[in-house]
Amino acid sequence: MNLVRTRVVHEGAGSWIVDFLGDDGESVSIKVADDVGSDEADIVEHAKRIMIQLADLAARQRRSR
């Protein structure tokens, strides 16, 4: 996926949605709790850290098979 846009939306119900949008129509959405902060840049960085953690977990699971 080639990232072309990042969209950040505050749900108003205690969380943010960060959408990472690709050039071919693919997307990844991460829900981030309000307690992470209120600055959109901080919210995006936190969402990126979540994706890195998930990728690391998937890699470890593949190696353990």
Q: Please identify every stretch of the chain with a pLDDT value under 50, giving residue numbers as ranges.
A: none
Residue 39 and residue 13: Cα distance in Å, rounded?
16
pTM: 0.86
Q: Say which residues have a Cβ less than 8 Å from residue 58's Cβ, sequence separation at least 6.
A: none
State the pLDDT at residue 51. Answer: 94
Residues making up the chain, counted from first to last: 65
Q: Say which residues have a Cβ less than 8 Å from residue 7's Cβ, sequence separation at least 6.
A: 18, 19, 21
Q: Say which residues have a Cβ less than 8 Å from residue 1's Cβ, sequence separation at least 6.
A: 20, 22, 23, 24, 26, 28
State the pLDDT at residue 46. Answer: 96
